[in-house]
Structure 1
Amino acid sequence: MNNIIKKSQDIKDWLISVRRDFHMYPELGIEEYRTMNKICNILEELNIEYKNEVADTGVVGIIRGNHKGKTIALRADMDALPIFERNNVEYKSKIDGKMHACGHDAHMTILLGVAKILVEMKEEIKGNIKLIFQPAEETIGGAERMIKEGIMENPKVDAVFGLHMAPEIPVGKIGIKYGKMNASSDTLNIQIFGESTHGAYPHSGVDSIVIASQVINALQTIVSRKVSPIDSAVISIGQINGGTAHNIISNSVNMKGTLRTLSPKTRDVALTNIKDIVENIPKTMGGKGKFIREEGYMSLINSDNMVNLVRESVNQLLGEKNVITIDSPSLGVEDFSYFLKDTDGAFFRLGCRNEKKDIIYDGHSDRFNIDENSLPIGVAIQVLNVIKFLK
């Protein structure tokens, strides 16, 4: 174990250099061409075979061990966010309006660090390691697209691991979660149709705004009356537009919202009830309703046996006191969930908070940053996860 920690610490300066380069040149989803090329250049320097332009800008490397065995995959997301960075650091984003505000620069760096260490050990490795650099986690969802292009096959992946920087957890500590970790998401598009008339004679028309208000109120009863109190769901309407003038009964209203759920069953129940409410309440009031669902990410559900493996790795490297078991899942989403749909695996959180350095800001903040001491820690944990699984 000490050898793994030493190898990871020995490349700390290299990790910091790589991470800062990614940070200074952020690219949004499906625009990550410079990022892709940098990853490919490093893999070439390490003599690691790879395929690029997977799902447009993704990269999949593979380290083939000297002995037959299972295949493990490690994933890092690549894309940045449309945010103006406010950190006053030497490696501040050089691209106005774009910033690595969620730690994906660190995720890629850690995976490259893992590759750098493991490729030197490949003669000892029993099995294969796939290195997945995934685009568009923040936008259209690169994970599902990469899977459809066959990256989990040839050789078939037996387990998959991923990590995420955690600004709520102090550097040197790791957060693990058994079972459900992140919610699924759906965008709700709702249209209400009535009949326009003069505001002085509402009885001559059908008021789509009044109908919409009834629909919004009814939607909230799904969470309170159709979902178990010990389960979780959120229905939020964030946009509503309707009407052309203050004295005209509006003939249509458009609404847009989001549904977040933790279990697939609850997701189905909620979607069925949303459709029923949107279509039936307007009918009773003389109007019409239409519901269009835009399917988002699925729930991220960890495999308990793989979470145990991560726990063991952290215990051996950092000590049991530095493992934090996360009690409650997040209603935020993460498309690593698609990798776990048909494959055992675990997603965990890598502490990067340091209050003394003012590294305290949440992900997607224009002040987000990481304590770079977290980089070799992430590398060491993922290296040991690989070794333990392939044994």
Structure 2
Amino acid sequence: MVSTSSKPLNIDLSRIRSDIQALQPQLVAWRRKLHQRPELGFQEHLTAEFVAEKLQEWGIEHQTGIAKTGIVATIRGQRSEVRQKEKETVLAIRADMDALPIQEENDVPYRSQHDGVMHACGHDGHTAIALGTAYYLSQHLDTFSGTVKIIFQPAEEGPGGAKPMIEAGVLKNPDVDAIVGLHLWNNLPLGTVGVRSGALMAAVEKFHCTILGKGGHGAMPHQTIDSVVVAAQIVNALQTIVARNVDPIESAVVTVGELHAGTALNVIADTARMSGTVRYFNPKLEGYFAQRIEQVIAGICQSHGAKYELNYSHLYPPVINDPGMAEFVRSQAVRVVETPLGIVPECQTMGGEDMSFFLQQVPGCYFFLGAANLSKNLAYPHHHPRFDFDETALGMGVEIFVRCVENFS
């Protein structure tokens, strides 16, 4: 749960235009329907079908089947400009659609109907906000100029849908000038927006390692190469990489989350298996941990006469916000939330996001929209089986996105 200091601020709904306030019941209904039918990455068929049906109903141009289940909607503004621009601007809005392999424990009418699958991170809300933004813009074409692309992305939780969507050309024809996206965030109270320049979320890397020793009797260790002892030393030694090899001004984490070995108390295990994750903000550290972790594992194994097999993967780069776009989003968000408390600039997290791939291609800003409300018991952390959020945030998200579209140039 978030701390008791994370109470929602006073929400001034007058900051949300009346047409979006009127849309709030629909936003809630869409979100709850999506919540009842969660789907894992690249399996979002029902979700994509629902999104496509709405876009079709509203007469919004869109493409389906991108990177399997992804959708891109294109909306062209009709606001007349005083001066003729050399090129019409193109702003992209990104929303992820996938759920997690979690059994929901919430006792609510809209709880998941799919056993073992749950929207435990707010992606149902992201999709509802993107739909609400698309609907509002389609009904108010004269309020903005240029083109808006709304990207409904699969598989953020894994194995990653952003990169294949980019490879499929979603940032082209017309070429996107900038991109924005939001994450409903239960680490911030309702009525706040977390937006900052530079690194917002961490790079994500993972490793799987098998220690190959020599098993034997627990009473005769001299006849064995104890994979458990080797693994234990490796786990401890890996913690020194951040503590003694990374600049203390930098932030990084090496975590061993799994360690499996042995089948009996009096048998020295032949093999031990461990898995872990690495997180960091500085892009210059890419490649460093893979090299240093293998050096540590190789050295300890050699000292014991053991061997090893290591599989190391780079998943997502860090989420790096463009300074200009971060300031632009902040300037729009301050019109929606009460300042100065409503804007939270120091909101970094070691969590990862494949929005990072979009931000490597075009300038953009990913930001957090506070959604926790302790008074309603809506403050469980992300990926928890009782995760839920205050749906008041849905209309706030639409308002911020719409303001971004209207004022982007």
User: Which bracket does the TM-score occupy, shorter chain normalised?
Assistant: over 0.9
The offset of 1:249, in angstroms, is: 3.9
One-letter identity of the residue aligned with 2:186 = P
One-letter identity of the residue aligned with 1:347 = Y
One-letter identity of the residue aligned with 1:57 = T
Residues 213, 3 of structure 1: alpha-carbon distance in 2 compared, 3 angstrom cutoff: closer
* 2:37 corresponding residue in structure 1: 25
The offset of 1:87, in angstroms, is: 2.6
* 2:9 corresponding residue in structure 1: none
* 2:58 corresponding residue in structure 1: 46
The offset of 1:3, in angstroms, is: 9.4
Task: Tell me the alpha carbon deviations over residues 326-381 of structure 1, each in whole angstroms, 9 at most, x when there is no partner.
Answer: 42521111111111112111111112222332222222222222222211111010
* 2:72 corresponding residue in structure 1: 60
Rounded Cα–Cα distance in structure 1 between residues aligned with 2:131 and 2:278: 36
One-letter identity of the residue aligned with 1:73 = A
Residues 247, 317 of structure 1: alpha-carbon distance in 2 compared, 3 angstrom cutoff: closer
* 2:170 corresponding residue in structure 1: 151
Residues 244, 93 of structure 1: alpha-carbon distance in 2 compared, 3 angstrom cutoff: closer
* 2:229 corresponding residue in structure 1: 210
* 2:90 corresponding residue in structure 1: 71
Q: What percent identity do the matched residue pairs reach?
A: 40
Matched, 1:367 2:386: yes
Residues 196, 103 of structure 1: alpha-carbon distance in 2 compared, 3 angstrom cutoff: closer
Task: Tell me the alpha carbon deviations over residues 144-185 of structure 1, each in whole angstroms, 9 at most, x when there is no partner.
Answer: 121111111111111111111122323222121221111111
Q: What secondary structure is seen at the aligned counterpart in 1 of 2:408?
A: helix
Say if 1:279 and 1:291, in contact at 8 Å, map to a contact too: no
Aligned pairs (5 A) from 1:148-227: 148-227=167-246
The offset of 1:199, in angstroms, is: 4.1
Rounded Cα–Cα distance in structure 2 between residues aligned with 1:297 and 1:315: 30
Picking from 290, 304, 311, the partner of 2:309 is 290
Matched, 1:271 2:283: no
* 1:239 corresponding residue in structure 2: 258
Q: What secondary structure is seen at the aligned counterpart in 2 of 1:332?
A: coil
Residues 43, 227 of structure 1: alpha-carbon distance in 2 compared, 3 angstrom cutoff: same
The offset of 1:188, in angstroms, is: 1.1
Rounded Cα–Cα distance in structure 2 between residues aligned with 1:78 and 1:99: 12
Say if 1:54 and 1:146, in contact at 8 Å, map to a contact too: yes
Rounded Cα–Cα distance in structure 2 between residues aligned with 1:328 and 1:373: 21
Residues 96, 252 of structure 1: alpha-carbon distance in 2 compared, 3 angstrom cutoff: closer
Residues 249, 97 of structure 1: alpha-carbon distance in 2 compared, 3 angstrom cutoff: closer
Rounded Cα–Cα distance in structure 2 between residues aligned with 1:15 and 1:274: 46
- Unaligned runs of 5+ residues in structure 1 are none
Rounded Cα–Cα distance in structure 1 between residues aligned with 2:277 and 2:244: 18
The offset of 1:312, in angstroms, is: 0.8
Picking from 340, 348, 352, the partner of 1:321 is 340
One-letter identity of the residue aligned with 1:23 = H
Matched, 1:14 2:26: yes
Which stretch shifts more, 253-262 or 202-211? Answer: 202-211
Rounded Cα–Cα distance in structure 2 between residues aligned with 1:241 and 1:287: 17
TM-score (norm 2): 0.89
Matched, 1:82 2:101: yes
Q: What secondary structure is seen at the aligned counterpart in 2 of 1:341?
A: helix
Q: CA RMSD in A?
A: 2.2
* 1:92 corresponding residue in structure 2: 111
The offset of 1:252, in angstroms, is: 2.5
Tell me how many residue pairs correspond in the alignment. 390
Rounded Cα–Cα distance in structure 1 between residues aligned with 2:265 and 2:32: 54
